[in-house]
Amino acid sequence: MDFLKPDVQERLTKDNFEFRKLMEEHVAADQRLQILVNKVRLTSQEALEEAALKKVKLRAKERIYQMVMEDAKQHG
Whether residue 76 is predicted with pLDDT greater than 80 in this model: the reply is no
Whether residue 75 is predicted with pLDDT greater than 90 in this model: the reply is no
Per-residue model confidence as pLDDT tens digits over 9-64: 999 999 999 999 999 999 999 999 999 999 999 999 999 999 999 999 999 999 99
Question: Given pLDDT bands bounded at 50, 70 and 90, which one contains residue 2?
Answer: confident
Per-residue HEC secondary structure of 5-65 comes to CHHHHHHHHHHCHHHHHHHHHHHHHHHHHHHHHCCCCCCHHHHHHHHHHHHHHHHHHHHHH
* Domain assignments of the chain as residue spans, ordered by start: 6-75
